[in-house]
Amino acid sequence: MIDLKGLSAFPVTPSDRNGRVDVGALRALVSPLLAAGVDSVGLLGSTGSYPYFTREERRRAVETVVDQAAGRTPILVGVGALRTDDAVTLARDAGAAGAAAGLLAPVSYTPLTDEEVFEHFVTVVRESGLLICIYDNPGTTHFCFTPNLIARLSRVEGIIALKSPAPDASAVAGHLKVLQEVVPSGFSLGYSGDWNCLDALLAGGETWYSVLGGIFPNTCMALVRSVQSGDTAEARRLNDSLQPIWHLFKAFSSLRVIYAIAKLKGLCAAEPPRPILPLSADAEKRVFETLASLELV
């Protein structure tokens, strides 16, 4: 069973204008993550633009990265879809390709009720046989998981973890405490939202689901290992050094910034899937100047 703790690094999924995954560029993006020893790779998450790809391209991306990882690093794969049967199919594809677990968001057009989301998750885990991490991402799904719903889902066999957006420092400890009180022992509680994740980790969050980790894995691993070893001062120093990146993420969105960084680093020249536009020349210049002032690996 996958143990979702530590750093889960989320790379972009480079593709052409027709939505065909650039396998070579994807390998180039994932290779440094594996070399850095990240605890898991989060493929086809929101940073990986999972809703924008066909079933065939998603399957090709998963097969590529699972083959590249060769069993050394667990691969967590986004399997969200509007329809339950499509999510089941995507989860089956991911499992057949060798993914360790699926990351399932309650993607919706019509607003969903708690009971509908519960049935959606139960059906996907039961019919696919793939371990599932709950993906709480209300900024895109417009669905907010209540502690009661998380408590119910955490007791479903095969649902093993929760990825939550990290609240700010004043709220994260209370948020985590509420969750810890309702889930069983061994159920992993982790956070995304890079600029708030240090405080989430220091409060006891077990996993950092990281956008920046998908492009600068060594820096992010150093931060996580500092927390795990109890070196809070070093963890805070590292996080403070990343504030210019966090400002860029907040100003332009982490997705657009990471595509610009990947281009500036020469890892890939892909643009985000349309209708998302790449950064303007002025914004990209700001990213370049920020990177030049930092020492990130």
* Tens of each residue's pLDDT in the chain, 297 residues: 688 999 999 999 999 999 999 999 999 999 999 999 999 999 999 999 999 999 999 999 999 999 999 999 999 999 999 999 999 999 999 999 999 999 999 999 999 999 999 999 999 999 999 999 999 999 999 999 999 999 999 999 999 999 999 999 999 999 999 999 999 999 999 999 999 999 999 999 999 999 999 999 999 999 999 999 999 999 999 999 999 999 999 999 999 999 999 999 999 999 999 999 999 999 999 999 999 999 887
Q: Would residue 181 count as lying in a domain?
A: yes
Is beta strand 40-43 parallel, antiparallel or unpaired with respect to 75-78? Answer: parallel
Taking 3-state DSSP, the helix, strand and coil percentages for the chain, each rounded to the nearest 5, stand at 50, 15, 35
CB proximity list for 221: less than 8 A, separation 6 or greater? 7, 36, 37, 38, 213
d(CA 114, CA 117): 5
d(CA 284, CA 297): 19
pLDDT computed for residue 1 by the predictor? 67
Q: Would residue 271 count as lying in a domain?
A: no
**AA identity, residue 228:** Q
pLDDT computed for residue 134 by the predictor? 98
Q: How many CA atoms lie within 13 A of 11 on its CB side?
A: 31
Q: Would residue 293 count as lying in a domain?
A: no
pLDDT computed for residue 276 by the predictor? 97
Q: Would residue 274 count as lying in a domain?
A: no
Kindly report the CATH number assigned to the domain that includes residue 137: 3.20.20.70
**Cβ(80)–Cβ(121) below 8 Å:** no
Q: Give me the catalytic one of 163, 191, 209, 259.
A: 163
Q: Give me the catalytic one of 50, 135, 191, 259.
A: 135
Q: Would residue 294 count as lying in a domain?
A: no
pLDDT computed for residue 157 by the predictor? 97
pLDDT computed for residue 295 by the predictor? 83
Q: What is the DSSP letter of 194?
A: G
- Clarify whether 5 is annotated catalytic: no
Give the domain extent around 219. Answer: 6-230
Q: What is the DSSP letter of 83?
A: S
pLDDT computed for residue 129 by the predictor? 98
C-alpha distance from residue 198 to each of 132, 168, 294 (Å): 24, 10, 19
d(CA 46, CA 52): 10
Q: Would residue 264 count as lying in a domain?
A: no
Q: Would residue 242 count as lying in a domain?
A: no
d(CA 128, CA 122): 10
Q: Would residue 77 count as lying in a domain?
A: yes
> Total structural domains in the chain?
1
**Cβ(59)–Cβ(52) below 8 Å:** no
pTM as predicted: 0.97
**Cβ(190)–Cβ(136) below 8 Å:** no
**AA identity, residue 223:** L
